[in-house]
Structure formats: structure tokens, C-alpha cells
Amino acid sequence: MEKIKPHLTEIVIFLVVIFLLLLGTYSRNKLWGDKIGLWTDCVKKSPHKGRPYVNLGFAYIESGPLKRLLKIYPYFPNAHHLLGIVCAAQHQFDKAVAEFEWEIRINPYHALAHLNLGQIYWYEFQNRQKALTHLKTALMLDPLLPNRAEIRRLVRLLEGLP
């Protein structure tokens, strides 16, 4: 068999393609260092999907500007509740409880904050009394609470009723 010798132009084209691919990979990897940039890019590429919007929202909540907002306006409605949801999603339940309790101090009638506290107190900390208090309060505050039957069933279970 005869040896095939690559031409100089083939080598140059190959090196240029490799260089462009490396450059694209490097610029794309910069996005992974910044959650807001990453999820903004995902929203641009998939504007009709919900997950990129939700994750972008969580990234904004976790970022410094929203935390600075809470330092300036600690009584901003629903902000602590949303931050508590982010903490709970990240399995930071102590922080989530602190945020939900702060939201209840701002608005004692926030049914979802009570519901989230009740669920965390029972499922994560096994604190029956605090779970019952918050779950009953949530049921009392909002007659249209999602999964109302499930919450009632949990309350009956915690009370030791059939």
C-alpha cells in the first residue's frame, strides 16, 4: 500500500476547525460559572418551556441583588416565602424555616407559608406539635388550599385519629 500524505492545506483546515471548536467550548463554559447567565441563555433557546424560567427566577432570588433588596426592605411581601421555597428545594431546611417564619411575621395570614412550615416541621424535623399548628392554620386561612384533602389526612394522622 502506498502511504497517503496529507497536504498542507488539509492540515491547516483541520487545525483551524479544532481551534474554532476549542474557542466555542471555552466561551460556552463561561456560562456554567454564572447561574443567571446560564438560565438566561436557556430561556433564549427554549422560550416555550417552563423549567428555564423557574430556574432563572431561583437564580435571581439566590443572587446578591434580591438579598440586598431584603436587607433594604425586609418586609417586602412574599419575598421571604419565595426564598424559603428556594432553600427547601436545596434541602436547606433550617434556612427555609427561618424564611417562612419571617414571612409569617410580615403576614400572619400567608396560608402557603404555614403549609410549607407544617410540612417541613413534620417530614424533616418530626415535630408533631409545630406541624399540627401550621397545617391547621393553613387549612383555616385558605378554603381553596391545593391538596386540601391530603393536608386534612395528614392532620388526622398527626392527631392520632383514623
* Structural domain includes residue 29: no
- What are the tens digits of pLDDT across the range 32-84? 778 888 888 888 888 888 788 778 777 777 776 676 667 767 787 788 888 89
In a shared domain, residues 88 and 126: yes
Q: State residue 10's pLDDT score.
A: 87
How far from 149 is each of 126, 139, 152, CA to CA, in Å?
Answer: 21, 10, 5
In a shared domain, residues 61 and 127: no
- What are the tens digits of pLDDT across the range 124-144? 999 999 999 999 999 999 999
In a shared domain, residues 109 and 159: yes
Range of the domain at 39: 34-72
In a shared domain, residues 111 and 55: no
* Structural domain includes residue 20: no
Half-sphere CA count of 2, side-chain side, radius 13 A: 3
Q: State residue 72's pLDDT score.
A: 65
* Structural domain includes residue 59: yes
* Structural domain includes residue 123: yes
In a shared domain, residues 96 and 137: yes
Q: How many domains does the structure of the chain reveal? A: 2
d(C-alpha 152, C-alpha 125), whole Å: 19
Q: State residue 125's pLDDT score.
A: 95
- What are the tens digits of pLDDT across the range 91-102? 999 999 999 999
In a shared domain, residues 156 and 101: yes
